[in-house]
Amino acid sequence: MVNSPAVHRVRRSPLIPGFGLTLGYTMVYLSLIVLIPLSATFIRSLDQGWGHFWIVVTAPRVLASLRLSFGAALAAAAVNSFFGLIVAWVLVRYTFPFKRLIDAMVDLPFALPTAVAGIALTALYAPNGWLGRLLQPLGIQVAFKPLGVVVALIFIGLPFVVRTLQPVLEELDKDVEQAAATLGASEWQTFARVILPALWPAMLTGFALAFARAVGEYGSVIFIAGNMPMRSEIAPLLIITKLEQYDYAGATAIAVVMLVLSFGLMLGINALQSWALTRNGGR
């Protein structure tokens, strides 16, 4: 009798063992850590009704702080995407003295307390600081201006881009670059048409991480920003101010607006990243 392979075929469940238990644990954990606190924030912001919520979030001071927080975060993430690519490229493709030290210094903003970073940047870029006194004759003032906010956010966001791009650069197949050179492509053409498309999804991920880190940053910004209402006041500082005044509904209203705007921007970035991955996979 000939045994059919179908007879001995073992039916395997598509789910991993313990899937139900792990899924339940995941949902409970996310509910306790994320969903319930966020729901409480939304509910608390409406304590005094939609009218009060609208008045708070459309106040000129609140709108100015939101523009600064999101505008500076986007600008800092864009700058980090460009220079982070350069830093990651140098660390992966070149060998030079003290390379390990410089590679370790990239992680310094991770380990450095944000308040210490803010004090150090203020000391450097203040009008009488080491760098500030050089920029002052040129009419450039960094500290106590919106530009100072961008500088602080660039400092704390750079490692996210570099550490996201480094593994991708290390795994790039150099044979493809050599093939492009053999076919007559210049170095810039090889970079633009071979390397950059492969790096694009990782660059979007680094951009998203740097933006998410920057939009809610507080410690490194308050020292260098100057905190002038309507000029250099960030939204997290305004939330703290309202909390100190026991205006919990107003503070949570601003937090809800920041949450919704951040979620919308992150959703758009993730959609763009998925499109880039699909486009790359189709090549």
**Mean pLDDT confidence for 227-252:** 91
Question: Does pLDDT of 17 surpass 70?
Answer: no
Question: Which pLDDT score is estimated for 251?
Answer: 92
Question: Does pLDDT of 178 surpass 80?
Answer: no
Q: What CATH class does 51-281 carry?
A: mainly alpha
Question: Which pLDDT score is estimated for 125?
Answer: 93
pLDDT tens digits along 153-166: 999 999 999 999 99
Model confidence band, residue 62 (pLDDT cutoffs 50, 70, 90): very high
Question: Does pLDDT of 20 surpass 90?
Answer: no
pLDDT tens digits along 77-101: 999 999 999 999 999 988 889 999 9
Question: Does pLDDT of 48 surpass 60?
Answer: yes
Give every CB contact of residue 135 below 8 A, 6+ residues apart in sequence: 125, 141, 142
Better-scored residue on pLDDT, 127 or 1: 127
Question: Which pLDDT score is estimated for 87?
Answer: 94
- Cβ(102)–Cβ(158) under 8 Å? no
> Among 144-158, 170-184, 254-268, which stretch is predicted with the lowest mean pLDDT?
170-184
**Mean pLDDT confidence for 39-66:** 89
Model confidence band, residue 7 (pLDDT cutoffs 50, 70, 90): very low
Model confidence band, residue 3 (pLDDT cutoffs 50, 70, 90): low
Question: Does pLDDT of 217 surpass 60?
Answer: yes
Q: Where are the domains of the chain?
A: 51-281
Express as a percent the part of the chain with pLDDT over 90: 39
Question: Which pLDDT score is estimated for 281?
Answer: 60
pTM as predicted: 0.84
